[in-house]
Amino acid sequence: MNNIETVELKKISNNGSDLCYLELGKEIDFEIKRIYYIFSMQVGLKRGYHAHKKLRQVMFCPYGEVEIEFDDGYKKEKYLLDSPNKIIVINQGYWREFEALKQNSVLCIGASDLYDEEDYIRDYGKYINWIKEQN
Ligand code: T46
């Protein structure tokens, strides 16, 4: 999908464990103003069903496995976060639905802005109309 990028972070391994990091100007080109995370995720219970008009995000899954389907109004593509060193960097404007493939998965999000319900489109029909207006 254009403007959605999967990056595998370098793992620094020592003392029997691993460390990853991401930096402004390298993996991401926007400042993170908010961090949130979804945890205790139950297999098969989907969340999302919205798009963001302006918000840009980086997503990663430090525990478990999460599948995210992005939709640009014309096509859909699934992305799998199945390792703590994988991140997805997402530009604004994509409808998303996501679910855990493993019990108690955790999805973390770094976002380019503070919470603003006005930035959400939560109705798929409205999303399709909004996409048409953008083109
Ligand atoms: C996203 C996916 C991956 C707040 O009050 N502040 C916040 O910062 C957030 C993120 C949510 N909320 C409230 C809004 C709702 O009343 O928490 C409730 C659950 O949010 P929502 O239904 O939007 O949750 P998800 O899991 O469908 O979506 C969330 C994010 O909202 C969204 O930005 O991309 O995670």
Q: Whose CA is nearest to atom 22 of ligand 1?
A: 48
Q: How far is the CA of 82 from the centre of ligand 1 (A)?
A: 21
pTM, entire model: 0.97
pLDDT in tens, 84-118: 999 999 999 999 999 999 999 999 999 999 999 99
- The tokens for 31 are 């400042």
Helix (H) or strand (E) holding 67: strand 66-71
Q: How far is the CA of 72 from the centre of ligand 1 (A)?
A: 20
Q: Per DSSP, what are the bridge partners of residue 38?
A: 107
Residues at CB less than 6 angstroms from ligand 1: 34, 36, 38, 47-48, 57, 109, 115
- Amino acid at the residue 53: K
Residue 125, helix vs strand vs coil = helix
Cβ within 8 Å of residue 30, ≥6 positions away: 24, 56, 112
Q: Is 50 a catalytic residue?
A: yes
Mean pLDDT of 19-41: 97
Q: Whose CA is nearest to atom 28 of ligand 1?
A: 48
pLDDT in tens, 41-90: 999 899 999 999 999 999 999 999 999 999 999 999 999 999 999 999 99
Q: Which residue matches tokens 């930096």?
A: 23
